[in-house]
Structure 1
Amino acid sequence: MLVLEDFFINFCILCTGIFLIHHYFLRDHLSNKLIRCKSLRGICHGIFGVVLMHFGIQLNDGVLIDLRSIPMMLAAFVGGWVPTFTATAIIIVFRLVLYPITFSSLNNIYVLGFSAIIFTLICNSRMSAKRKWVLMPLSFIIILASTFYIVIPEFETAIIIFVQYASAIAFASFGAYIIKSYLSRNDENYEKVKLASKKDHLTGLNNVRSFDQAIGSFFSSAKAQEIDLSLLVIDIDHFKQINDTYGHPAGDKVIKKVAQLLLLSCRSVDFVSRNGGEEFSIIMPDCDTDSCQVIAERIRKAVDKSTSRISEVELQVSVSIGYATAVQDNIVSVADLIDKADQGLYKAKQRGRNRVVAGL
């Protein structure tokens, strides 16, 4: 009796379900630490298993074979015991409700329940993902083998069907592992690209794109909460001379040094970014003019006292800083706030550099 070909529909449903569940329910915005999210994952995988069971292969005496064990493996792999037992319970209940209660259906409770325990233990171990995906289908096949001859008494028929069923489980598990690995790598690459699009490659600070997005959000929030919002615009003095004299690698070293000092000198809630070349900015929520000036002076002094070793030379640099504060009703737009801070920077340059000036 050949049943291997009939598993093709089950496998197509399996592949489709893995993609859909991963895309809509297993992305990073669903925290693994929340029980309700784990339960949701279990429900999704349980319904997934029921669909596979509905399109399964019905043999004599109420025997039903399909790939419903794979969603249980997936649930264990992505969430641990909560989604695993949730999915298993759903599959068992629907097996008893939708199909006649026979010895085979009661045996199904033992097979799935015991498998759920084994899957959970395997996935909670420290072994690699590849080894987990070897042991889970292997353990299921062993559990299945312990009872298969009972539900199909004819030994020769049982052997033929079991070999095909075990082969289908093995190949489907391998396919599920390949798909999950692909989707996980795809998510990791997406996050890397997403992060790279927001960060400056040289300093690790936020880049100008992030600044443009953040300043509007901070400004709107400050207006809504009726709090002050300050902005520092910082420029390294005589930076072109550093590049011309010591080369661009030396200039990059200076930029990274200044970036580190900015992070050390400002508050943890401040938004620090490199806006291009030797220019930086710091968005400072809930910061009045006096506090902004104090922090700006701290930054200026920290940079002025620091040195960067270029070849055999200890290079000392300074920064000019312009700042502005959006007190209620005095600055009506983001563009106005940026323009005022830029005016302060321009005046600091005009007055001899290495100083902090407010934009008026």
Structure 2
Amino acid sequence: MVSDFFINICILTALFFSYLQLRWHTLEKHLPQKAICAIDGVAAGIMGNLMMYYSIQVNDLTLVDLRHIPVLMILLISGVRPAVLSTMLIIGGRFLYGFNLSSMAAIIFMTVTLAGIIIIDRMRKSHQPRYISGFYMIFYSNLVFSVVLSVVVRDWDLLAILLPVYWVISCLGGVGIIYLIQYLDHSHALFKSYEQKASMDHLTGLNNVRQFDIQWNQQLENSEKKKKELSLLIIDVDHFNHVNDTYGHPAGDQVLKQLARLLQEHTRDTDIVSRNGGEEFSVILPDCSNSSACHVAERIRREVMAHTFWINASSHIPITVSIGASTYPSTTEDREEIIDLTDQSLYQAKQLGRNRVVSFTSGGFVPADNRTYSM
């Protein structure tokens, strides 16, 4: 009997570990939250049915197992709706083993257990560790199980052996799985934090140059696949060294942070804004023609020129930017050349006196103020 319960715990542990890895590293990257919640419920329902498959046959009609543990775990991980869905799947699975007194008792056990653990979860305080609520839930479900099993079996000699073993295994196994989930969840949160910091510029909160390279290559692939134009802006703060030399590096940092906010405010949600290093920024514009990209660049240039850049509580300075623009594939069909052409456009903007936009087109480098644009 102990070995059978131990097998249940080992199966549950392996299943939860595998599913959480799939959830965090695949499902969360490709599916909306509602879909993930539904999958959580189905996954817990499948685990509960597997517990019944490896259950202990107490008598001709009664099965004993840990089918409620997946419901409890998914409630702690994902919420009430997945827990309700998994309970329904487990109840449905129980009828595959026959419709009798024990199956009706199983429905009562799962329903009463679900209602109780939802109440316990709702009563949990925000600062309370998850494993404490989990232990209360396990204790409650064991009480419900003991009462229901005693009514169905009525073999007190058997119950005197079965129930103590069940309580020990259920409590130790359940708390152990909760601890494992909490440990994995904490590790995953740390990993995501490190991953985010590795791709983020610490000063502005924008993508760093490493993330820019990743996003740029992905957008190029999408552009080719969907036959859409892809534009790129490279933005440089004019005379930024003068700002650092005159007002100090903290003032320069304030300018860069404010410029980063301006870029995010005056681009689309689908555009990708990065700090590529120093005072240089970039904006990737998916599904954007060259004329529209130049329009966006001109809007950014005007907004920067009109903005008041505060360097401390009482002082502000004027700032301008120069912007280079190019578009794939209308500017060039060479993927390797597009960034270099945008850099060259920026260089031309600097050479022409700064505070302007220059775009590279099939006709060469063209200052934006010589053209008419439409969105």
Do both share a fold (TM > 0.5)?
yes
| Counterpart check, 1:51 vs 2:53 | no
More divergent stretch after superposition (119-128 vs 267-276): 119-128
- Counterpart mapping for 1:164-243 below 5 A: 164-223=165-224, 225-243=226-244
Q: CA RMSD of the aligned region, Å?
A: 3.2
CA distance in 2, matches of 1:221, 1:153: 66
Equivalent position to 1:317, from 316, 319, 323: 319
CA distance in 2, matches of 1:6, 1:341: 67
Query: Displacement of 1:94 after TM fit?
Result: 4.8
Q: Deviations over 1:60-102 (max 9, x none)?
A: 565443322211212333445554354445444554545x776
Which residue in the other structure is 2:259 paired with?
Answer: 258
Query: Displacement of 1:256 after TM fit?
Result: 1.0
Query: Displacement of 1:155 after TM fit?
Result: 4.0
CA contact (8 A) 1:322 1:343 kept: yes
Which residue in the other structure is 2:358 paired with?
Answer: 357
SS in 2 for 1:292: helix
SS in 1 for 2:192: helix
CA contact (8 A) 2:45 2:71 kept: yes
- Counterpart mapping for 1:134-173 below 5 A: 134-155=135-156, 157-173=158-174
- Counterpart mapping for 1:325-340 below 5 A: 325-326=327-328, 328=330, 330-340=331-341
Write out the 4+ residue segments of structure 1 that deviate beyond 6 Å after TM superposition. none
Q: Deviations over 1:152-192 (max 9, x none)?
A: 43546534532332232222221121112122222322322
What letter corresponds to residue 281 of structure 1 in structure 2?
S
Shift in CA distance, 231/20, structure 1 to aligned 2, threshold 3 Å: closer
Shift in CA distance, 348/88, structure 1 to aligned 2, threshold 3 Å: closer
Q: Deviations over 1:176-223 (max 9, x none)?
A: 211121222223223223322332221111222222233334344445
Query: Displacement of 1:227 after TM fit?
Result: 4.7
Over the matched positions of the two proteins, sequence identity in percent amounts to: 35
Shift in CA distance, 43/349, structure 1 to aligned 2, threshold 3 Å: closer
Q: TM-score, normalised by structure 1?
A: 0.83
Query: Displacement of 1:8 after TM fit?
Result: 2.5
Which residue in the other structure is 2:74 paired with?
Answer: 75
Query: Displacement of 1:270 after TM fit?
Result: 2.5
Q: TM-score, normalised by structure 2?
A: 0.80
CA contact (8 A) 1:216 1:334 kept: no
Shift in CA distance, 223/148, structure 1 to aligned 2, threshold 3 Å: closer
| Counterpart check, 1:291 vs 2:283 | no
What letter corresponds to residue 318 of structure 1 in structure 2?
T
For structure 2, the residue ranges without an aligned partner over 5 or more in a row are 366-375
SS in 1 for 2:327: strand
CA distance in 2, matches of 1:184, 1:167: 25
Q: Deviations over 1:127-163 (max 9, x none)?
A: 5544541332122122123233334435465345323
What letter corresponds to residue 357 of structure 1 in structure 2?
V
CA distance in 2, matches of 1:358, 1:94: 65
CA distance in 2, matches of 1:316, 1:195: 33
Which residue in the other structure is 1:113 paired with?
Answer: 111
Shift in CA distance, 61/307, structure 1 to aligned 2, threshold 3 Å: closer
Aligned residues: 354
CA distance in 2, matches of 1:56, 1:152: 16
- Counterpart mapping for 1:57-136 below 5 A: 57-59=56-58, 63-80=62-79, 83-92=82-91, 94-98=93-97, 103-123=101-121, 127-128=125-126, 129-130=130-131, 132-136=133-137
Shift in CA distance, 7/256, structure 1 to aligned 2, threshold 3 Å: same
- Counterpart mapping for 1:4-19 below 5 A: 4=2, 7-19=5-17
CA contact (8 A) 2:237 2:319 kept: yes
Which residue in the other structure is 2:346 paired with?
Answer: 345
Which residue in the other structure is 1:281 paired with?
Answer: 282
SS in 1 for 2:204: coil
SS in 2 for 1:201: coil
SS in 2 for 1:197: helix
SS in 1 for 2:203: coil
CA distance in 1, matches of 2:253, 2:318: 14
What letter corresponds to residue 216 of structure 2 in structure 1?
I
What letter corresponds to residue 76 of structure 2 in structure 1?
F
Q: Which has the higher contact order (CA 8 A, sep 6+)?
A: 1
CA distance in 2, matches of 1:135, 1:92: 23
